[in-house]
């Protein structure tokens, strides 16, 4: 059982990790992330890269939807803006990848702020519909602005170069995407220790009292859209570099729904929720496919029969979370922690 | 000198005249109450003062400055704080974070330093935390609950946290919408004591809406009575209490005998 954790200063009490236990676990996490590429094969590294990209985007969406309460179905479209910007810069300027990524995130931010404007007037479902419009409009631009996006043919992107080495394979790309992911997640966690993050939560919980406390709602709503789409743009840029090719169908509305499902399953309004949700949503289809492969020797035409079942199980899992664990995976994690804090005593 | 002044405010929703040329004022450093029967327009008046409603006529003055055209956040920045009748705390946050939000207008951390929690952001957070601990949390005796989510607190404590959040703004004028509604006697006494202490120690002008006549008579310096959107009386608590207009507004009839006869349905009872 853990009994209190005395602190001598307010600085210690305001820290991101307030107990030695938390620091230890965070250290262990970083070390495992660093050791992972030496132990995993290419397939698992590929999954790790994909998960990291999804974590960045889901964390961004979580800031907007989970923390600020602005439902958005445009996250994938903003990823698309980031991806296309990176692709265009890569093809036409040959600037270093980091400049391209930042420019992509910047462009996505601009798009996010523009398509965030309806949030100044509408909330909830209405805003969700307005952001779907963003998704369709940007999709239309990707298809029809041929001189820049090359339309349906899509664009190819060379892998990023670091000191003459091309980060082409997952085991190399891992060293680019994971540090970016860690930094961006820590940034999000920090944000909610400060006045800006608190203002976001205030807008979600009770916008009238937020404005009585001097929070200018339009500014903060747009700021939230800006941050969310910056994260989306960064994720989209990394996505483009990772897969090496993009086309207008790379970032469909379904992907926005996927990200929204990720934060719901993971836990809205918690940093951990975005992470766990992205891991769950990326790995579960893989795990289900693995399950189908295991069953295939025993059932005739297993892949034909079981692949719709796979989709259904995936859907059921999400519905199950909504029903039985509405606060998501992060809440399960909290309960587990609580159990160990109190062990061997209950309650 | 008047700290907060409302001049000839008129507010209508469609055909309903919520406020009709209402003029009230709150003296600097005083405790002023607005009372009146249900539906008299008290909360509408508060909402107009904090800037949620746009009155059709009239003006609101804070510290000799016309703030009628300002939006709620600007009024907050000028030192106007308020609490709500049905508690409007941020339910997803801890008590401490709720109170810290009160300090929002007085802090400046920008987005970039917030993301890394470096330098200015960190210093400002710690400065605010220290100040809140010392001046607000100790003062309102809520140190034992600072890490609890507000949704789990009993009603009386939630009201106190809301007061704490308003005080963290370091307001010049504090507006309390029914600060003791729904409280038991002990909680009411605590709240009355806090309000008196706020006036003493924080140098704040208090304007409140309250139904509890005992409390109004005990702690207020000045009372305005509102009925059907009009000010029908104003003065010291004792004067207002004796005012026949006020009695009629609350009881509906001039004297008990008439009332009794009316209930019996006797002829000739007006």
CATH number of the domain within which A89 lies: 1.10.3470
CA distance B98 to chain A (A): 8
Interchain proximity B109–A196, CB inside 8 Å: yes
**Assigned domain for A22 exists:** no
**B1-79+171-270 in CATH: which number?**
3.40.50.300
Task: Please report residues of A whose CB lies closer than 8 A to that of B127.
Answer: none
Q: What are phi and psi of B58, to 5 degrees?
A: 100, 175
Could A191 and B129 be called an inter-chain contact, meaning their C-beta atoms sit closer than 8 Å? no
Question: Could you tell me which residues come within 8 angstroms of residue B178 by beta carbon, excluding any fewer than 6 positions away?
Answer: B85, B208, B209, B210, B211
Cα separation, A41 vs A64, whole angstroms: 35
- B250 touching chain A per CB within 8 A: no
- Residue A166's DSSP bridge partners are A161
Number of H helices, E strands in chain B: 11, 10
User: Residue B225 CB: number of other CB atoms within 10 A?
Assistant: 23
Nearest CB neighbour to B125, from listed A193, A201, A215: A193
A101 is in which domain, residue-wise? 39-342
Tell me whether residue A19 is in a domain: no
- How far is CA B264 from each of CA A82, B203, B253, B256, B259, rounded to the nearest angstrom? 80, 53, 14, 12, 9
pLDDT score at B259? 59
CB contact under 8 A, B102 and A213: yes
**For residues A225 and A68, what is the distance between their CA atoms, to the nearest angstrom?**
9
For residue A156, what are its two tokens? 């190819």
Q: What is the pLDDT of residues B144-156, one digit of tens each?
A: 999 999 999 999 8
A234 assigned to some structural domain:
yes
Does A205 reach chain B within 8 Å, measured CB to CB? Answer: yes
Q: How far apart are CA A39 and CA B242, in angstroms?
A: 86
- Hey, are the CB atoms on B129 and A201 less than 8 Å from each other? no
For B73, nearest residue in chain A (alpha carbons): A214
H-helix or E-strand spanning residue B96:
helix B95-102
Does A69 score more than 70 pLDDT? yes
- Is residue A13 in some structural domain? no
According to DSSP, the residues that pair with B61 across neighbouring strands are: B5, B66
- Tell me how long chain B is: 270
**Between A2 and A116, whose confidence is greater?**
A116
The two beta strands, B16-27 and B57-62, are unpaired
Instruction: Determine the Cα–Cα distance for residues A67 and B34; give it in Å rounded to an integer.
Output: 37
Select the residue from A4, A67, A184, A194 to test the B interface by mutation, using most B Cβ atoms within 10 A: A194
Q: Does residue B100 have a pLDDT over 50?
A: yes
- Rounded Cα distance between B70 and B24, Å, is 19
B73/A201 CB distance under 8 A:
no
User: Do A278 and A267 touch, CB atoms closer than 8 A?
Assistant: no
Q: Which tokens is A89 given?
A: 């810069």
Determine, yes or no, domain membership for A98: yes
**Which of the pair, A313 or A114, is modelled with greater confidence?**
A114
Half-sphere exposure of A147 (CA within 13 A, CB side): 0
Distance between CA atoms of residues A326 and B116, nearest Å? 31
A264 belongs to a structural domain: yes
- Asked if the structure places residue A79 within a domain, the reply is yes
Question: Residues with Cβ < 8 Å from B63, sequence gap 6 or more?
Answer: B3, B78, B79, B172
A199 and B101 in contact by Cβ < 8 A?
Answer: yes
Cβ proximity of B151 and B97 under 8 Å: no
Is A194's CB within 8 Å of B130's CB? Answer: no
Which of A165-174, A180-189, A337-346, B251-260 tops mean pLDDT?
A: A180-189
For A8, the token pair is 């001598």
Beta strand pairing call for B2-13 and B205-209: unpaired
Confirm if B11 and B68 have CB atoms less than 8 A apart.
no
- Answer yes or no: is A195 within a domain: yes
CB A66 within 8 A of CB A278: no
Contacts of A78 (CB under 8 A, 6+ apart): A108, A111, A112, A115, A134, A138, A228, A229, A232, A233, A236
Chain B, window 37-66: residues with a beta carbon less than 8 angstroms from a chain A beta carbon: 50, 52
DSSP per-residue letters across A302-342 = HHHHHHHHHHHHHHHHHHHHHHH-TT-HHHHHHHHHHHHHH
Residue in B84, B104, B165 to test binding to A, most A beta-carbons within 10 Å: B104
- Interface subset of A 182-201, CB within 8 angstroms of B: 187-188, 190-191, 193-199, 201
Q: Can you give the pLDDT at residue B270?
A: 44
Q: pLDDT: is B75 or B264 the higher one? A: B75
Q: Which residues of A touch B72 (CB under 8 A)?
A: 211-212
What average pLDDT does the structure give for chain B? 89
Q: What is the DSSP letter of B94?
A: B
pLDDT in tens, A39-62: 988 999 999 999 999 999 999 999
Which B residues 79-118 touch A at CB under 8 Å?
81-82, 84, 88-93, 97, 100-105, 107, 109, 111, 114-117
Interface test with B, best of A112, A212, A327 (most B CBs within 10 A): A212
Six-digit token string for A302: 């297993």
Number of Cβ atoms within 10 Å of the Cβ of A34:
12
Q: Classify residue A8 by its DSSP letter.
A: S
Could you say which of A190, A206, A211 has the minimum Cβ distance to residue B72? Answer: A211
**Mean residue pLDDT across chain A:** 90
In chain B, residues with a C-beta closer than 8 Å to the C-beta of A227 are 111
pLDDT of residue A61: 96
In chain A, the number of structural domains is: 1
According to DSSP, residue A159 is labeled P
User: Do the Cβ atoms of B220 and B238 come closer than 8 Å?
Assistant: no
Tally A–B CB contacts below 8 A: 109
Q: Is pLDDT at B256 greater than 80 in this prediction? A: no
Which residues in chain B are classed under CATH 3.40.50.300? 1-79+171-270
Note the pLDDT tens digit of each residue in B204-219: 999 999 988 888 989 9
Question: What SS3 class is residue B226?
Answer: strand
Q: Tell me the per-residue pLDDT of A179-213, one tens digit each, with 9 for 90 and over.
A: 999 999 999 999 999 999 999 999 999 988 899 99
- What average pLDDT does range B15-30 have in this prediction? 92
Q: How many residues does chain A have?
A: 347
The 3-state DSSP class for residue A265 equals helix
């Amino acid at each position: 059982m853990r009994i209190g954790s005395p602190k001598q200063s307010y600085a210690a009490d305001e820290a991101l990790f307030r107990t030695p236990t938390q620091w230890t676990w965070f250290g262990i996490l970083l070390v495992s992330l660093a050791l992972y590429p030496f132990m995993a094969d290419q397939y698992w590294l590929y999954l790790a890269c994909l998960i990291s990209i999804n974590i960045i985007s889901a964390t961004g969406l979580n800031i907007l939807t989970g923390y600020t309460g602005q439902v958005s179905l445009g996250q994938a479209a903003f990823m698309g803006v980031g991806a296309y910007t990176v692709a265009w810069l890569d093809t036409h300027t040959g600037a270093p990848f980091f400049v391209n990524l930042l420019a992509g995130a910047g462009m996505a931010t601009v798009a996010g702020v523009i398509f965030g404007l309806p949030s100044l007037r509408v909330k909830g479902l209405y805003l969700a519909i307005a952001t779907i419009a963003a998704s369709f409009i940007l999709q239309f631009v990707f298809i029809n602005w041929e001189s820049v996006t090359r339309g349906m043919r899509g664009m190819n992107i060379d892998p990023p170069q670091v000191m003459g080495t091309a980060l082409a394979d997952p085991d190399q790309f891992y060293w680019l995407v994971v540090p970016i992911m860690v930094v961006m997640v820590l940034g999000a966690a920090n944000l909610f220790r400060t006045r800006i993050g608190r203002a976001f939560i205030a807008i979600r919980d009770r916008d009238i009292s937020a404005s009585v406390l001097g929070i200018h709602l339009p500014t903060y709503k747009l700021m939230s859209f800006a941050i969310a789409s910056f994260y989306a743009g960064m994720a989209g840029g990394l996505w483009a570099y990772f897969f090496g090719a993009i086309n207008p169908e790379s970032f469909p509305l379904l992907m926005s729904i996927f990200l929204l499902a990720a934060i719901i399953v993971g836990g809205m309004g918690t940093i951990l929720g975005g992470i766990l949700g992205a891991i769950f949503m990326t790995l579960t289809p893989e795990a289900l496919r693995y399950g189908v492969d295991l069953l295939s020797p025993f059932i005739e035409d297993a892949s034909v029969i079981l692949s719709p079942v796979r989709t259904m199980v995936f859907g059921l899992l999400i519905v199950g979370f909504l029903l039985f664990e509405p606060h998501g995976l992060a809440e399960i994690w909290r309960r587990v922690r609580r159990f160990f804090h109190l062990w061997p005593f209950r309650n | 000198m008047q700290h907060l002044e409302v001049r000839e405010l008129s507010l209508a929703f469609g055909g309903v005249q919520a406020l009709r040329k209402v003029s009230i004022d709150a003296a600097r450093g005083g405790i002023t109450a607005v009372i009146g029967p249900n539906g008299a327009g008290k909360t509408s008046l508060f909402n107009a003062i904090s800037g949620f409603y746009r009155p059709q006529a009239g003006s609101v003055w804070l510290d000799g400055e016309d703030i009628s055209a300002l939006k709620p956040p600007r009024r907050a920045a000028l030192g106007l704080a308020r609490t709500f009748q049905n508690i409007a705390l941020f339910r997803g946050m801890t008590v401490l974070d709720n109170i810290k939000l009160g300090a929002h207008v007085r802090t400046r951390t920008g987005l970039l330093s917030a993301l890394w929690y470096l330098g200015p952001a960190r210093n400002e957070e710690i400065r605010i935390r220290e100040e809140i601990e010392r001046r607000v949390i100790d003062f309102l005796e809520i140190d034992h609950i600072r890490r609890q989510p507000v949704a789990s607190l009993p009603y009386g404590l939630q009201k106190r946290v809301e007061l704490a959040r308003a005080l963290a703004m370091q307001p010049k004028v504090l507006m309390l919408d029914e600060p003791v509604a729904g409280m038991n006697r002990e909680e009411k006494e605590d709240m009355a004591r806090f309000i008196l202490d706020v006036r003493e120690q924080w140098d704040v002008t208090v304007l409140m809406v309250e139904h509890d006549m005992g409390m109004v008579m005990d702690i207020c310096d000045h009372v305005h009575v509102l009925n059907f959107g009009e000010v029908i009386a104003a003065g010291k608590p004792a004067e207002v209490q004796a005012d026949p207009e006020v009695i009629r507004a609350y009881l509906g009839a001039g004297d008990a005998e008439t009332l009794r006869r009316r209930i019996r349905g006797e002829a000739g009872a007006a």
